[in-house]
Amino acid sequence: MLKNIGFIGLGIMGKPMAKNLIQAGYPLFVYDIVKPAVEELASLGATACATIADVTAACDTIVTMLPNSPHVKTVVLGAGGVAESARPGTLVVDMSSIAPMASQEIKAELVKKNIRMIDAPVSGGEPKAIDGSLAIMVGGDQADYDEAKPLFDILGATSVLVGDIGSGNTCKLTNQIIVALNIAALSEGLLLAKMAGTDPQKVFDAIKGGLAGSTVMNAKAPMILAGNFKPGFKVDLHIKDLANALDTAAITGTPLLLTAAAMQMLQYLHRTGDGQSDHSAIVKFYENMADTEVRNAN
């Protein structure tokens, strides 16, 4: 018999992930400060909870999917949070993308109450959250990973235990650096094609099967060429991830020159009204510099 699972955080990623767990037959107890999201999940069979304590009373495994480190700290360690009411032995599976050091700090506090924790951020954006094909990067103990793996098998196409607590988020920051720089390089390349008089669509068709081809290119080039910036992953969320990467780099002494440049592009988009656009809007930074539009090229 499937055990009760708590799910806290029903945003752009959390809601479809929770839906997939319901469809897989898990009894789900959900909480979010946005009540319509809770009501939507309840209409699909989840149990709506009015407080975090209601979640912990029913569940020994609690998934959190929240925007950033302060939100996770509040939900887990704050007044009325998980640490106050969860039973000893409860497993917290934090699937938020936060700073690695924050994961370590949160777990250190939970250990004092005999509550377990793994960090398990995801990659793939809303489309892969919807179809259950996320890439899941995990930090924590092997036994805790093994316990959570049936959930990961529903939510993702892959899950890898990378190392100790915080390693999952370190891996996610690495992923986010590479994704941002891929989009920036793609934007530069397509802009060069356009300004040199070559059809960017045909350039994409020619190179996507070669060494430059990537999952990022295949996902983002069609959006750029169509001028479709409906968010699968928002600029403002990528800013948050790169801020965590740069903060971690400052602590560890890691040089991140290209990441800093990508951050400036994203900050430009935020300032010019594209904070809620898909991160493929990085092309707009280049279009503005060149006064040339890559989009809608045929």
DSSP class of residue 289 equals H
Q: Nearest CA to 227 among 290, 285, 294, 298?
A: 294
Residues 6+ apart with CB under 8 A from 146: none
What are the structure tokens assigned to 104, written together?
A: 């370590």
Return the SS3 of 4. Answer: coil
The Cα–Cα gap between 237 and 233 comes to 7
Which amino acid is located at 49 in the chain? Answer: C
172 classed as catalytic: yes
Among candidate residues 15, 19, 107, 172, the one labeled active-site is: 172
Asked whether 7 and 65 are in contact (CB, 8 A), the reply is yes
273 burial type by CB count under 10 A (0-12 exposed, 13-18 middle, 19+ buried): exposed
- Catalytic residue annotation: 172
